[in-house]
Amino acid sequence: YTQLPSDFNEFWNKTKAEAAQFPLTYTKEYVEKYSTDKIDCYLIRLQLNKQNQCIYGYLFYPKAEGKYPVVLCPPGAGIKTIKGPMRHKYYAEEGCIRFEIEIHGLNPELDEDTFGEISRAFSSWENGYLVNGLDSRENYYMKRVYLACVRSIDLLTSLPEWDGKNVIVQGGSQGGALALITAGLDKRVTACVANHPALSDMAGYKAGRAGGYPHLFKNTVDMDTPAKIKTLAYYDVVNFARQITVPVYMTWGFNDNTCPPTTSYIVYNVLNCPKEALITPVNEHWTSDDTEYGHLLWIKKHLK
């Protein structure tokens, strides 16, 4: 259903150019509890603009000196801490620098109760971040999120330990969407792995079938306005997928009722780049450990 606006690339090129005027600014703090004899972890606070808006992330390095590929991992949906950052420690153990981020400017070291209070205050349907400012492409909340992913690539490619060649984006659900979006926005990206991406053909309900998460047109009639539909076209994964030229690996399950498999097929079918898919019929909105580790194996096969 989602069509490409005639000024899609013009809008995003202008938006990126404006954001790039703010200098790369961040703090870096060693995190002992997530460091081991093989990897070092740092908590990053990455400032996005002169309004002092920021994101946080855990940056994992191999402990051995060297030059390494960089991997950006955006998060799934919600207002929450970065859960289980050690679950993908094998990226750093096997020779990648990995930056696992949040998108709301909330320190992941906050306790669970605090995150719960913040989430209850700002995640309800009428004022949740995925609908905040949706009447305007300039003011939509996700504009800052997409630019934060590009700024994260600025950070990763500034590291002296980067190998100077490989920039990978990888994530699932909202993180899968942001991985594909970043690959479409930023030509420094060399490969992309996306699992059951959200934000895909979101207005598909207008065509009488399931649209992508967050199911705007299923949950409320207030979303079905010309202004909101126009804005969505500038933020839908489908239109970023149309811009991707680097290799993409997508995985999804047939039984996913959060990010319907039809929307993953839509994204996959519009990709005009080297691409591979792993379809797991039994999967709902989750992935197995084998599938997750398989993402790293695919990445290693596509390093330059």
Spell out the residues 6+ positions from residue 281 whose beta carbon is closer than 8 angstroms to its own.
253, 254, 255
Q: Is residue 173 annotated as a catalytic residue, yes or no?
A: yes
Q: Which of 35, 88, 104, 173 is catalytic?
A: 173
C-beta of residue 220 within 8 angstroms of C-beta of residue 226: no
> Hunting for tokens 């938006």 — which residue is that?
15
- Cα Rg of the chain, angstroms: 18
CA distance 96 to 88: 11
AA letter at 133: G
Q: Between the CA atoms of 216, 218, 220 and 225, what dihedral angle is there, to the nearest 10 degrees?
A: 60
Contacts of 259 (CB under 8 A, 6+ apart): 173, 176, 196, 197, 198, 200, 212, 213, 252, 285
CA distance 180 to 247: 11
Measured in whole angstroms, the distance separating CA 40 from the mean position of its chain's CA atoms is: 23
DSSP class of 281: T
Phi and psi torsions of 33, nearest 5°: -65, -20
Q: Measured between alpha carbons, how far is 116 from 80 in angstroms, rounded to an integer?
A: 8
Neighbouring CB atoms inside 10 A of 23's CB total: 8
**Among residues 80, 78, 89, which one has the least CA distance to residue 33?**
89
Catalytic option among 196, 285, 295, 302: 285
Q: Is 256 assigned a catalytic role?
A: yes
Catalytic residue of the set 256, 264, 295, 302: 256
| Catalytic residue annotation | 173, 256, 285
